[in-house]
Amino acid sequence: MKFKKSLALMLALALPMAAEAHRYWVLPAATVLSGDDPWVTLDAAVSNDIFYFNHFPLKAHYLSVVKPDGSEGEMLNVGEGKHRTTFDINLTEQGTYKVLMDSSGLHASWETADGERKRWPGRGEKPEPGDFEKKVPQDAKDLKVGYSSTKLETFITAGNPTDTVLALSNKGLEMKSSVHPNDLFTGEPVELTFFMDGEAIEGVNVVIIPEGMRYRDSQEEIALTTDEAGKVKVDWPQAGRYWLEAEYEDDKAKAPATTRSGKYIATLEVLPL
């Protein structure tokens, strides 16, 4: 199934965290629900402080809902304000849902004959098939071509958790948890494995920040790097919601790109035992 994506947004998300102060996130009001007809409300935003609305909304058309059987779900009661987007999901099926943003594409930079630096695609430009060949001069001076991907996920379970939406696509940077992402508890360490194009990868930089950073003197971030098996171990310091961002880059891209980079973002909820 083909879910929504935006190459222009992907390029913005692919910027290194050090150069891009704004964080992208989707926050469900709850991640575990029960009952005969459960609903959940979600916020989606881009902000300086995680889970605080102070920049601009993450528009709903960048996002998709994946139902427990893998089919596409529906966002209901969508509203866009100055600083956030809100929407509801009616969890009509038992199991685990995923809210997803998944984007990827080529990008290029080069120098013109008069020394001006050019980039493709330009800010706000949505590339069309064939644009790379038409708009990027292949013999340009200092031509640099990369392939970037961005994936953003959060998970919500109605009733018993299921695994269908957790399957890897083997495209871009992805994460697999040793524990179902809706079964995270304090006092129970979890092992996270990161994959680039389906391969467990060493050297992924992972940052995890607990909610409430606006009201602390420091971010209290957990900074980790994956080992040779692509793994990091996380011991949750407290219950609450967490924002996770992982980044990776290497020179193993397929032509015409010479570098590939991936960004993975997730919102996770950790419950007390």
Q: Which tens digit of pLDDT belongs to each residue from 53-91? A: 999 999 999 999 999 999 999 999 999 999 999 999 999
- Which one, of 18, 247, 63, 20, lies nearest residue 148 by Cα? 247
- Whether the bond into 121 is cis, omega within 30 of 0: yes
Helices (H), 106-241: 131-135
pLDDT of residue 34: 94
Q: What is the pTM of this model?
A: 0.88
Q: Which residues contact 217 (CB under 8 A, 6 or more apart)?
A: none
Instruction: Tell me which H or E stretch contains 7.
Output: helix 7-13
User: Domain map of the chain by residue range?
Assistant: 7-104+146-270
The residues facing 109 across adjacent strands are 119, 144
Q: Which residues contact 102 (CB under 8 A, 6 or more apart)?
A: 3, 5, 64, 149, 150, 151, 152, 169, 172
Q: How far apart are CA 28 and CA 241, in angstroms?
A: 10
Q: Which residues contact 6 (CB under 8 A, 6 or more apart)?
A: 61, 62, 103, 126
Identify the segments of the chain with pLDDT beneath 50. 1-2, 5-20
Instruction: Report the CATH number of the 7-104+146-270 domain.
Output: 2.60.40.1930
Contact yes or no for 54/94 (Cβ under 8 A): no
Q: How far apart are CA 35 and CA 2, in angstroms?
A: 30
pLDDT of residue 123: 77
pLDDT of residue 243: 98
pLDDT of residue 130: 87
What are the tokens at 184? Answer: 């995270």
SS3 23: strand
**b vs e for 143-178, b when ≥16 Cβ sit within 10 Å of the residue's Cβ?**
bebbbbbbbbbbbbbbbebbeebbeeeeebbbbbbe
Q: How far apart are CA 22 and CA 48, in angstroms?
A: 5
pLDDT of residue 21: 59
